[in-house]
């Protein structure tokens, strides 16, 4: 399902990153970094809530607006019952739409906000997505301090929050179109290899998007996926060729950009809802504004599993949502 937008713009962004991201190659681009996992809060879950609220505050100060001038806040995270979002929303105080779509939350949020803006239901919106390494390790994997050997395909959940402000004001980037993905499951059961589980979902969404918009793949200067990781991105490239006969040349994966995969202990790269926003908002967004890229397709991928379903021997269903962003053409 592809939507086109006529009057939606991604005006401004704000990012907050955690300690591992602060040591990564993009450290200088984040608006704020924290060097420990607690962010002056008593628990990791509360720490995640704090950076969501902080990212919204940071964004509001950048756009010079107060909370009461924002119509809606769309936000999601990885924790059960999206508690990080829900607890942050109380202090933020903007009408909330809480969403869960695992690591594809960020783009789903952008799509929902764009739809509401295009339908003129709202005048503006803030979209946030966050994750916290330790809070989600505890929930999805082993205890944090447990050191059982990890597989090379394991990804490392990103700590951070990314916030975006969308409105009909002609500033920043134009939100051009978006494609909602379908859920796909090709039988991957290993939670330590989610890149492989999510690659077919990303491929299908990219294919559907290109088909429905009648575009060639090189229409985009860059196709940026969320968190497939070092091995997942190679799987995507080959799957794309074999299944859809599309060569992904102008393609990158944010999981491989957010960390130094050689020198940081992150195995196959980053993951989590914050991974794509941190890379895109902090690093790519300014590049587009400078004109280094003209058209970008963001494809956020999400592995929609829980430990309960994995223990019941079920495989991992995945989804991917895509959104097309481009530089504002003054002639149009």
Partner 1 sequence: MDKKKYQILVKKHCPKENRLLNGLVAFLVGGFMGIIGQFLIDFYKNTFSLSQNYSSALMIITLIFISCLLTSLGFFDKLVEHAKCGLIIPITGFAHSMMSASIDYKKEGLVTGIGSNMFKLAGSVIVYGVVSSYFFGLIRYLISGGMA
Q: Which residues bind partner 1 (CB under 8 A)?
A: 42-43, 138, 142-153, 186-188, 193, 196, 200, 231, 234-235, 238-239, 242-243
| Residue 9 vs 37, nearer CB to partner 1 | 37
| Residue 108 vs 196, nearer CB to partner 1 | 196
What letter does residue 184 receive in the DSSP assignment? Answer: B
Q: 276, 254 in Cβ contact below 8 A? A: yes
| Residue 144 vs 328, nearer CB to partner 1 | 144
Which residues face 223 on adjacent strands? 251, 297
- Min separation Cβ 234 and partner 1, Å: 5
- Min separation Cβ 193 and partner 1, Å: 7
| Residue 58 vs 198, nearer CB to partner 1 | 198
| Residue 71 vs 234, nearer CB to partner 1 | 234
- Min separation Cβ 83 and partner 1, Å: 13
Helix or strand (DSSP H, E) at 116: helix 105-118
- Min separation Cβ 43 and partner 1, Å: 5
Q: 301, 227 in Cβ contact below 8 A? A: yes
- Min separation Cβ 76 and partner 1, Å: 23
Q: 315, 198 in Cβ contact below 8 A? A: no
| Residue 10 vs 84, nearer CB to partner 1 | 84
Place of tokens 């950076």: 51
- Min separation Cβ 318 and partner 1, Å: 12
| Residue 187 vs 291, nearer CB to partner 1 | 187
| Residue 135 vs 275, nearer CB to partner 1 | 135
- Min separation Cβ 27 and partner 1, Å: 22
SS3 for 64-99 is CCCHHHCCEEEEECCCHHHHHHHHHHHHHCCCEEEC
- Min separation Cβ 117 and partner 1, Å: 37
- Min separation Cβ 148 and partner 1, Å: 6
167 φ, ψ to 5°? -160, -175
| Residue 121 vs 307, nearer CB to partner 1 | 307
Q: What is the CA radius of gyration of the chain?
A: 18
Classify residue 141 as exposed, middle or buried by CB count within 10 Å of its CB (0-12, 13-18, 19+): middle
- Return the structure tokens found at 198: 């999510």
- Look at residues 245, 252, 244, 242 and name the one whose alpha carbon lies nearest to residue 221: 252
Which residues face 131 on adjacent strands? 160
Q: What does the chain come to in residues?
A: 332
DSSP result, 117-178: HHTTS-SEEEEEEEE-HHHHHHHHSS-TT------TT--EE--EEEEEEEESSS-SEEEEEE
């Amino acid at each position: 399902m592809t939507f086109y937008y006529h009057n939606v713009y991604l005006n401004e962004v704000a990012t907050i990153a955690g300690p591992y991201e602060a040591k990564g190659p993009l450290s200088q681009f984040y608006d704020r970094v924290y060097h420990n996992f607690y962010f002056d809060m008593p628990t990791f879950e509360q720490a995640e809530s704090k950076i969501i609220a902080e990212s919204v505050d940071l964004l509001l100060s950048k756009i010079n607006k107060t909370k009461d001038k924002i119509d809606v806040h769309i936000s999601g995270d990885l924790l059960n019952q999206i508690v990080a979002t829900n607890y942050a929303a109380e202090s933020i105080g903007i009408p909330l739409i809480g969403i869960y779509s695992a690591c594809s939350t960020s783009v789903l949020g952008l799509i929902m906000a764009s739809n509401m803006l295009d339908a003129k239901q709202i005048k503006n919106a803030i979209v946030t997505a966050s994750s916290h390494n330790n809070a989600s390790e505890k929930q999805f994997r082993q205890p944090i301090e447990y050191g059982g050997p990890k597989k090379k395909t394991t990804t490392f959940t990103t700590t951070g929050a990314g916030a975006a402000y969308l409105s009909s004001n002609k500033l920043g980037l134009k939100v051009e179109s978006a494609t909602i993905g379908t859920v796909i499951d090709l039988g991957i059961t290993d939670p330590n290899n989610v890149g492989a589980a999510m690659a077919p979902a990303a491929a299908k969404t990219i294919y559907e998007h290109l088909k429905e918009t009648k575009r060639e793949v090189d229409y985009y200067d860059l196709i940026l996926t969320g968190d497939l990781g070092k091995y997942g991105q190679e799987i995507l490239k080959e799957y794309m060729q074999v299944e859809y006969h599309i060569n992904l040349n102008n393609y990158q994966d944010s999981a491989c950009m957010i960390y130094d995969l050689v020198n940081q202990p992150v195995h196959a790269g980053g993951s989590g809802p914050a991974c794509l926003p941190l890379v895109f908002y902090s690093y790519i967004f300014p590049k587009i504004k400078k004109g280094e890229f003209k058209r970008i397709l963001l494809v956020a991928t999400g592995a929609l599993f829980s430990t309960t379903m994995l223990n019941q021997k079920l495989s991992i269903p995945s989804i991917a949502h895509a959104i097309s962003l481009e530089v504002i053409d003054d002639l149009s």
